[in-house]
Structure 1
């Protein structure tokens, strides 16, 4: 990593907002490209973020194309002026879409999305490339950026922000309707906040 390049970006702050609860997030079903709406509780969770987000001034607001992320963005008060960013889509789980880890392990013992093949979906190498490419575009921005996205992708993004590796995200738990903040400690990329509720 070029230290000079990093010195150009210390004022950039990236807020990661995971969407609110859905029926599938509640049951543990892998939800990649299926449009599952927020539950009523999920909408309440999203609205609970509004007071915190209203205290900030965001220069850019981007959201995944999935309805659960767009709805969370709107309920949290940042819908006006937001733009859809396809690279914020959740991991493509391929044949495992809609299945829980327990169900998958019945036929693939020890399976995890972090270290196992995902037939007809994205490999960890592919999602790492997607996240790192998005980070490079974010580094060209200034000010405060809000990203509304999904559990696994935001964990990958957090890991890639720190060291370029998607696998680091396996150590970053992320609940629904939480806020995390990526920034800098001097010239070094760092997590400023992780998995926080709206307080």
Structure 2
């Protein structure tokens, strides 16, 4: 019998800009030493899971997290897992952006020179369509803002509802299906720290 799809969403570990609150899209920052330790701490939770596919954002911080978590040998890069493109707001903090545009909200206004909410939503929908054709355990190494987009779209919510899903560095989420309603997508686990095995979930 084919195993049903279970998606493990893993955000990369800490970077200098995740610490400082700067919007990090295309900038290819490495993990901090603490971020590397966070990534290694993911390994015990993920080891022993027979992943049918491991996909990672092309950004260094996601690829390094995947490698340090012990899944680098299985990984394939998928550009659709890249972080929201912040365009002209790359490297800025929200407070700095609001000095220019006081009412700015990425979920409503998007980023000039980068992605609009509808574009981020469409990218998540394309990824979900690909995932729907897979079976078994699939790991995704990606980013905080895009993870929020993906969670919202996985359960059919408008992209702006992603604002309600917190995603900490090196956290794990699980996207799957309701046992009693196999066509109904659910969030099985979200924003969990790497504190133990996920195999019993």
Quickly name the TM-score band, shorter chain normalised: over 0.9
**Deviation sequence 1:98-125 (CA, Å, 0-9, x none):** 0000110111112121111411100000
Distance 1:180 1:117 in 2: 25
1:85 aligns with 2:78: yes
Q: Which residue in the other structure is 1:190 paired with? A: 186
> 2: distance between equivalents of 1:10 and 1:59?
10
The runs of 5 or more residues in structure 2 that have no matched partner are 196-201
8 A Cα contact 1:10 1:184, kept in partner: no
Cα drift, residue 158 of structure 1: 0.5
Query: Which residue does 2:58 correspond to in 1?
Result: 65
Gaps of 5+ in 1: 1-8
The number of residue pairs the alignment matches comes to: 191
Q: Is the 1:10–1:183 contact (alpha carbons within 8 Å) kept by the matching residues of 2?
A: no
Runs of 4+ in 1 over 4 A off after TM superposition: none
SS of residue paired to 2:70: coil
Residue of 157, 169, 177 corresponding to 2:170:
177
Aligned to 1:4: none
Equivalent-residue separation in structure 2 for 1:27 and 1:10 (angstroms)? 41
RMSD in angstroms over aligned alpha carbons?
1.2
Q: Secondary structure at the match of 1:115?
A: helix
Deviations 1:138-168 (A, max 9, x none): 0000101000000000110000001152212
Q: Between 146-155 and 103-112, report the one with greater CA deviation.
A: 103-112
Look up the SS of the partner of 1:35 in the other structure. coil
**Structure 2 length normalisation: TM-score?**
0.92
Q: Counterparts of 2:80 and 2:46 in 1: how far apart (Å)?
A: 22
Distance, in Å, in 1 between the alignment partners of 2:17 and 2:95 is 14
CA distance in 1, matches of 2:145, 2:131: 19
